[in-house]
Amino acid sequence: MVRISTLFSAAAAVAAVGQVGASPLKFGLDAFEGNVVKSELAKRAVVLSTLTNNGIQPIQEGQQAPLRKEIRELQKDSEGFNLYVLALASLMAKPQSDVTSFFQIGGIHGRPFITWDGVRGGNNNGGYCTHADILFLTWHRPYLALYEAALYAEVQKIAAQFPEGSKDRAAAKDWRMPYWDWLSNNFAVPDVVGTPQIQVRDPTKGTVTINNPLYSYTYKFSNTREQQEQFPDPPFNNVRQTSRVPNSRLNQQFANIGTNLRNRVYNLLTTYTEFSSFSNKGTTMAVDGQLDSLESVHDVIHATVGGNTGEMAYVDYAAMDNMFWLHHTNIDRLFAMWQGIRGDTQGSYLTPNDNFVNQFGTFSIPSNTRENSRTGLSPFRKSNNNNDFYTSEDVKSTKQFGYVYPETDDFGKPKDNFSAWVISQVNAMYGAGSPAGVLTSVSSITASMSSTIATSATTSPNNLPTTSTSATTLSTATSSSVNVPPVVESPPARGVSPTPNVPVVTPTPNRPDRDDRNRDDRNRGPQNGNRESCESIPWYRWIFVGRVDCWKNWWERRTGNDENDNRRRFEFPETVGDAIDNIGDVIDNIGDTVDNIGNAIGDIIDKTIDRVPHIIDAVKHAKSLINGDNQYIEYIAQVKTENNALKGTYTVYLFLGEYDANKPANWATEQNLVGTHCAFSNLGGGHQYTGSGSVPLTLAIMNQVVAGKIANLGREAVVPYLQKNLRWEVATAGGEAVPTKDVQGLKVSIASSDVKLPCVEGALPIWGKAKTEYGVTEGKDGGLCAGETMI
């Protein structure tokens, strides 16, 4: 294991010997007071020159690792969250000439394109970050660890000012930075990042109101000339603080595309087995008809949050916004979850024999460099040796940097079953609302209903489906069984509390919570000691979180508790559909404890074209959605773009149905928007490489089936519908529409795949070979024509 105690230990050395003296345009260590030789300091790592005993330590075998928590989960720990806000404010208050400041750590990623810690060797027209490259995920892991260690150092200083024995000091011991899971909480942006000011408990002043460091970072350029030299592009050459799209607008946009993003992530986590395809948009290959990568999903978040004038929208400025760190920590989490599923299987990570090419290079990596697991992740050194950089081999495990995530915490879990446990977490959080998850639940429900109908003359309600001890089958009075989706009966994810504690540090809420049939905020499954009610769990998640009893209770309410009444209800119907027609119009409390119609986010989710169908609709149309082999067909839109086509970040919007083509500013919130693909670039353009992504269409098509607009999910019914209704548009980050025929390199195609529903514990959907549906896009601007390929 790599000896890492902190990625910021040299900060202590800096504090011990004196003050950094650096000119505005130099990011190395120019001079120290005291008896330290300047040339020697230039060779040693700024952040790892001295190992200390009070920094972040690597996790040893058998040791329980501290958790990185979702930011809203961290808020429930009032002391931990208070330390986070105070530490971030302290980090942002440092002079921009300080190599340990928020500004200079952020500057590693992009602007001002200046040497950090004396590391160079590549090109000077970009930062150190490795985008569209095989090192994308592994490079960002030590980068995040550096930032976390900087915050950790501030947390320790602040905690030391609180009384001995206080909860604040205890919270500081295992403090780790949070992430923002943009797929939870109804896809909403955390309220706390949208308020300009916030209350904190200062160790010396008590409760005070400060400028919220989660809201924005205020630049500290000494003068206008300095800013324009380091940030030459408008509007950043004259702004005073970072900005992003307001929360209210972001919530609308994420509510509109959140379900699609969730399906993309679920497909990536469960169907991609090769690291080179999963990790980045530069080396991705088509997987089951999907030209996607975790980096491509990451791009959508950047472009959506940044909008037109926000730093997050542009590669070279993005790390100046604190949302960058919350977002990228979540990307690292999803990477770690994928690692947990894949383990050490072939192709699941880089090897020393790999020979990937970094065509354009970075600030420290020359162009056309051959890369593998031993390529240095510069500028992050792991020792005083000038050329001893971390490699992908060093950063494979998050434990080497002293943390895990709730879904990757293997402490106390059998190693031989850990992959199945991670799969259960993924299924519960992201899989239950996917087409495979919804249809698996529908399959189980309809099979149970058919069995109940067939045996109704001799079966009482008390003998309706019950949970078996293994939680893998639904048993009926006739001993028939129905396979249930993956359920692993092991402890739930640590660090996810079932009931919120009111945090001390909190902004004034500007959005009421909402419980609805599509809610995602209870996405962790039942917790020990606090079992959720069936009404608080969306119906499509009942099976996936092991709550077969919820289905039983709902079914018994539908069928009645009187045996004779039950017999009368099911004496004549011959099909499941007929039985549902006889159920009646009363549909009470299926995943809805509060139906807050005034909540804009919930309303948008309820109306999106790819919303999760209602239980009654889905079950009633089961035979139109699932074939006799327990399979269904997935439809995926593949989008390929040239990164530099429009000299900056731009977005491809895909619609199914009518939309206002003349109002590009409203495309992100159009009801028939099914998903987006973003080309995430430097402001003014960047390297000219090809990127690709996927937009799942299946849930949207399922809704058309239950609405009676399409006969079934079969290709003979769906392809003509897509040919008529699928359209796409392109707009710049500034909201300017660009004719699709003028977007160089744009290609859109449709692929379909037969998917086998999971049927055993720990299983995942099994995708068949993809088929390109040329008839959908051929003849349209940017459409794929017969005989062409996307790769």
Q: Rg (Cα) of the chain, in Å, rounded? A: 27
pLDDT above 90: percentage of residues in the chain: 60
- Region 746-763 average pLDDT: 88
Evaluate if residue 222 carries a pLDDT over 50: yes
pLDDT tens readout for residues 700-744: 999 999 999 999 999 999 999 999 999 999 999 999 999 999 999
> Could you tell me the two tokens for 117?
């810690």
Please check whether residue 766 lies inside any domain of the structure. yes
- Do 442 and 576 reside in the same domain of the chain? yes
pLDDT tens readout for residues 402-448: 999 999 999 999 888 899 999 999 999 999 899 999 999 898 888 77
- Is pLDDT larger for residue 93 or for residue 18? 93
Confidence band for 468, pLDDT divided at 50, 70 and 90: very low
- Do 600 and 626 reside in the same domain of the chain? no
Distances in whole angstroms, Cα of residue 449 to Cα of each of 434, 442, 479, 534: 22, 10, 14, 19
**Domain end marker among 570, 604, 638:** 604
- Do 588 and 626 reside in the same domain of the chain? no
- Do 739 and 673 reside in the same domain of the chain? yes
DSSP class of residue 509 equals P
- Do 405 and 529 reside in the same domain of the chain? no
Span of 74-83, 202-211, 754-763 with lowest mean pLDDT: 754-763
pLDDT score at 535: 75
Cα distance between residue 8 and residue 177, in whole Å: 14
pLDDT score at 607: 85
Q: Which helix (H) or strand (E) holds 102?
A: helix 102-107
The one-letter amino acid code at 753 reads S
Please check whether residue 496 lies inside any domain of the structure. yes
Evaluate if residue 318 carries a pLDDT over 50: yes
pLDDT score at 666: 95
CATH number of the domain within which 698 lies: 2.60.310.10
**Domain end marker among 573, 604, 635:** 604
- Is pLDDT larger for residue 588 or for residue 618? 618
- Do 112 and 143 reside in the same domain of the chain? yes
- Region 768-783 average pLDDT: 94
Evaluate if residue 125 carries a pLDDT over 60: yes
- Region 63-85 average pLDDT: 97
Span of 56-70, 459-473, 549-563, 726-740 with lowest mean pLDDT: 459-473
pLDDT tens readout for residues 361-372: 899 999 899 999
pLDDT score at 516: 37
Please check whether residue 295 lies inside any domain of the structure. no
Confidence band for 264, pLDDT divided at 50, 70 and 90: very high
pLDDT tens readout for residues 578-607: 444 443 333 333 334 334 433 567 778 888
Evaluate if residue 229 carries a pLDDT over 80: yes
Contact between residue 80 and residue 173 where contact means Cβ atoms under 8 Å apart: no
Please check whether residue 222 lies inside any domain of the structure. no
Evaluate if residue 98 carries a pLDDT over 80: yes
**Domain end marker among 578, 604, 630:** 604
pLDDT score at 6: 39
Query: Could you tell me the pTM of the whole model?
Result: 0.83
Span of 304-308, 454-458, 752-756 with lowest mean pLDDT: 454-458
CATH number of the domain within which 44 lies: 1.10.1280.10
Contact between residue 626 and residue 688 where contact means Cβ atoms under 8 Å apart: no
Report the mean per-residue pLDDT for the chain. Answer: 80
The one-letter amino acid code at 749 reads S
Residue 197 bridge partners (DSSP): 211
Total domains present in the chain: 3
Confidence band for 782, pLDDT divided at 50, 70 and 90: very high
pLDDT score at 568: 29
Strand, helix or coil for residue 697: coil
User: Closest by alpha carbon to 764, among 456, 430, 509, 459?
Assistant: 430
- Is pLDDT larger for residue 323 or for residue 609? 323
- Do 109 and 34 reside in the same domain of the chain? yes
User: Closest by alpha carbon to 675, among 694, 701, 691?
Assistant: 694
Q: 737-738 and 726-732: which strand pairing?
A: antiparallel
Contact between residue 315 and residue 687 where contact means Cβ atoms under 8 Å apart: no
Cα distance between residue 557 and residue 559, in whole Å: 6
> Could you tell me the two tokens for 127?
């930062």
Evaluate if residue 574 carries a pLDDT over 70: no
pLDDT score at 629: 87
- Region 337-362 average pLDDT: 93
Cα distance between residue 243 and residue 265, in whole Å: 27
Please check whether residue 28 lies inside any domain of the structure. yes
- Do 359 and 435 reside in the same domain of the chain? no
pLDDT score at 330: 98
Work out the number of other CB atoms within 10 angstroms of the CB of residue 5.
18
> Could you tell me the two tokens for 227?
């800013």
597 is in which domain, residue-wise?
A: 423-604
- Do 690 and 711 reside in the same domain of the chain? yes
Please check whether residue 328 lies inside any domain of the structure. no
Evaluate if residue 482 carries a pLDDT over 50: no
Please check whether residue 137 lies inside any domain of the structure. yes
Evaluate if residue 77 carries a pLDDT over 70: yes
Return the C-alpha torsion angle 431, 433, 439, 445, nearest 10: 100
- Is pLDDT larger for residue 782 or for residue 282? 782
- Do 427 and 408 reside in the same domain of the chain? no
DSSP-derived secondary structure for 473-494: EEE-TT--EEE------SPPPT
pLDDT above 70: percentage of residues in the chain: 75
- Do 693 and 653 reside in the same domain of the chain? yes
Evaluate if residue 474 carries a pLDDT over 60: no
Taking the alpha carbons of 511, 513, 517, 521 in that order, is the dihedral positive or negative? Answer: positive
DSSP-derived secondary structure for 94-128: S-TT-TTSHHHHHHTTBTB---BTTB--S-SSS-S
Please check whether residue 199 lies inside any domain of the structure. yes
Strand, helix or coil for residue 305: helix
pLDDT tens readout for residues 233-248: 999 999 999 999 999 9
pLDDT tens readout for residues 141-190: 999 999 999 999 999 999 999 999 999 999 999 999 999 999 999 999 99
- Do 642 and 584 reside in the same domain of the chain? no
pLDDT score at 761: 60
Contact between residue 317 and residue 311 where contact means Cβ atoms under 8 Å apart: yes
Q: In 603-614, which positions are buried (b, 16+ CB within 10 angstroms) versus exposed (e)?
A: bbbbebbbbbbb
> Could you tell me the two tokens for 406?
């709730």
Confidence band for 789, pLDDT divided at 50, 70 and 90: confident
Q: Which helix (H) or strand (E) holds 262?
A: helix 247-271
